[in-house]
Amino acid sequence: MCGIIGYIGEKQAAPIIFSGLKKLEYRGYDSAGIATLNNGIHIKKDVGKVKDIHSRINLTDLPGFIGIGHTRWATHGGVTKENAHPHTDCSGEIVIVHNGIIENFQELKRELKHHKLKSETDSEIIAHLIEEEMENKGFVEAAKTALKRVEGHFSLLILNKNDKRMIAARRGSPLVIGVGKGEYFPASDIPAFLDYTKDVIYLHDNDFVVLDKNGPKFFNLKNGENIERVVSTVDWDAEQAKKGEFEHFMLKEIIEQTETIQKAINQKMEIVEEVVGDIKNAQGIFFVGCGTAYHACLTGSYLFSKVAKKHVNVVSGSEFPHFEHFLTDKTLVIAVSQSGETADVLEAVKTARKRGSKVLSIVNVMGSSLTRNSDKVLLTHSGPEICVLSTKAYTAQLALMLLLAYATAGKIEDGRDQLKNLYNMVYNLTALSKRKKLKKLAEKLKDKEHIFTIGRGLMYPTALEAALKLKEVSYIHTEGFAGGDLKHGTIALIEKGTPCITFVSNGTEKEILSNAMEIKSRGGYIIGVGPKNNDIFDYFIKVPKSSVADPITHIIPMQILAYQLAVLRGCDPDKPRNLAKSVTVK
């Protein structure tokens, strides 16, 4: 949610932090600010987009070689300049930026009632706790003691007016450190510093780091012991995290699917074989994800039923703890997440761990919290996904689900062939001619208040994902249904001209066309998505037949349609309102 970036080194900090904040905008935010250290603390912050704030108050002219920056997504307190980060203590000597939720905020606030609080945020409390502890401790020990009193999740950067070191700490919220030559970039996500380095240190829960120009020192926040953390190198590059010739990241990432689906199946066979062994030996399997990843899980359950003849349970991450009593040490939990930092998925994994269950993660970000809390990891290899809406990571998740289903059935080469055959299909589905055709449809739909999507079998989760894409970026109310369910109540909402997008596959053609006819007979406007046209359709989107890979080919035109609708309606496709890329709070 919130974005954090810091710098300590030999260069002017503010321009580097400003650049990092712009690269973290995809996480979603409502205000931003920077603090630097140079003969005192210097702060600039305000409400709005980073570039707009910069045009008003120039965020890059703050002096100093040490600094911290933040983009805020409001949880405690309204969207105001006072609530924007960075925050200071009473004296203005301690300054912090914070991502997360302080669960004992009210209790701590009562204890600090003699302090002068300037904001409504829970974050500011941390600066005052450190101030309190510094009455009889040095900066580092005061920060350690203060953070032990904090309950909840946090990633933090802390500066002291009278100290040339920076403190970084995390518990439950993401934080990594970019490692350059004599310079360090603590940040909430890797793209913030990719222009400067690919070398990173992934922080674990309860890591407490003291940074100076000579390097980091790591401590465990719970017991205070010194710990070691290794430097890793990411295989992403800075160009992947840039828009290049594209107007929006969303369109760029949709088009990248020609390549990313193929990268997803490039897995080490020995790991796949181990995973298949876990699947076969498990007594109960759960797929767990949130939002788009949940739809990938639901699709996976159909694939495992159809291809591997195996039953899989599917549970939303936020609801998974309520299934705790079904879990044993024989259970396999397959957790799916783009970022690997989704709070509800991590809580689900924590629940599984408590019951002794084995955890496999399907994730895009190596070194994320989810990868570190899993027994085995399959990376989707999608590269940085900057747009808030997941497109290429979703189809990569689907590709891995299909590959695992075939591998479990002992037919992994058949699965590979299915997915390799998608290359030309996806290339054609994302071509300019296809985008122009979908723009014409978007022009017909842009003023509609409601859209419905229906599918059966593998096309049911596709209908759900299509509805999610359309509503989260265009703000048109869209609902997805299993084809047979629409008539169990919701068909009452169908009026003359109500659009209904119908997903057709060979195995479900007769039934879903019957459902579409029920809607058409009540005045609905039927948009068909599938391999062949039909008289029922008022508008047809041709998608090549791809058998069990249909969920991949059928969703891509919907991603493009959602993009076109957003642009026509004046919405920002990369940063939809009220949404954040990584939902790191429960």
Per residue in 7-37, pLDDT (tens digit) is: 999 999 999 999 999 888 766 678 999 999 9
In a domain, 579, yes or no: no
Residues 262 and 337 placed together within one structural domain of the fold: yes
Residues 231 and 251 placed together within one structural domain of the fold: no
Residues 55 and 169 placed together within one structural domain of the fold: yes
**Predicted local confidence at residue 172, as pLDDT:** 81
CATH label of the domain that carries residue 200:
3.60.20.10
Residues 193 and 254 placed together within one structural domain of the fold: no
Single out the residue in 180, 214, 240 at which a domain terminates. Answer: 240
Per residue in 542-571, pLDDT (tens digit) is: 999 888 999 999 999 999 999 999 999 999
In a domain, 584, yes or no: no
Percent share of the chain, pLDDT over 90: 74
Alpha helices by DSSP H, listed for 282-391, are 292-307, 343-354, 369-372
Single out the residue in 388, 420, 452 at which a domain terminates. Answer: 420
Residues 108 and 96 placed together within one structural domain of the fold: yes
Three-state SS annotation for 159-186: EECCEEEEEEEEEECCCEEEECCCCEEE
Give the mean pLDDT of the chain. 91
Residues 79 and 199 placed together within one structural domain of the fold: yes
pLDDT at 171 over 80: yes
Q: CA nearest 8: which of 164, 220, 242, 198?
A: 164
Per residue in 197-209, pLDDT (tens digit) is: 999 999 988 999 9
Catalytic residue of the set 44, 358, 434, 581:
581
Q: Which of 83-92, 236-245, 330-339, 518-527 has the lowest mean pLDDT?
A: 236-245
Residue 116 is a catalytic residue: no
Domain limits at 75?
Answer: 3-240
Residues 142 and 262 placed together within one structural domain of the fold: no
Pull the structure tokens for residue 90: 């009473």
**Predicted local confidence at residue 2, as pLDDT:** 80
In a domain, 45, yes or no: yes
Residues 514 and 394 placed together within one structural domain of the fold: no
Residues 144 and 170 placed together within one structural domain of the fold: yes
Query: How many structural domains is the chain composed of?
Result: 3
Instruction: Convert 247-260 to b/e letters by CB count within 10 Å (16 or more is b).
Output: ebbbbbbbbbbbbb
Residue 2 is a catalytic residue: yes
CATH label of the domain that carries residue 384:
3.40.50.10490
In a domain, 254, yes or no: yes
3-class DSSP state of 451: strand
Residues 340 and 405 placed together within one structural domain of the fold: yes
> Mean per-residue pLDDT for 217-228?
91
Strands (E), 472-584: 477-482, 499-503, 525-530, 539-542
Amino acid 269 reads: M
**Predicted local confidence at residue 115, as pLDDT:** 92
Residues 40 and 177 placed together within one structural domain of the fold: yes
* Residue 216 φ then ψ, to 5°: -90, 150
Residues 33 and 170 placed together within one structural domain of the fold: yes
> Mean per-residue pLDDT for 527-543?
95
Catalytic residue of the set 2, 290, 387, 500:
2
Give me the residue label for tokens 């970039």. 185
Give me the residue label for tokens 């993660």. 361
In a domain, 583, yes or no: no
Single out the residue in 219, 240, 261 at which a domain terminates. Answer: 240
**Would you give the DSSP letter of residue 26?**
G
In a domain, 586, yes or no: no
pLDDT at 245 over 90: no
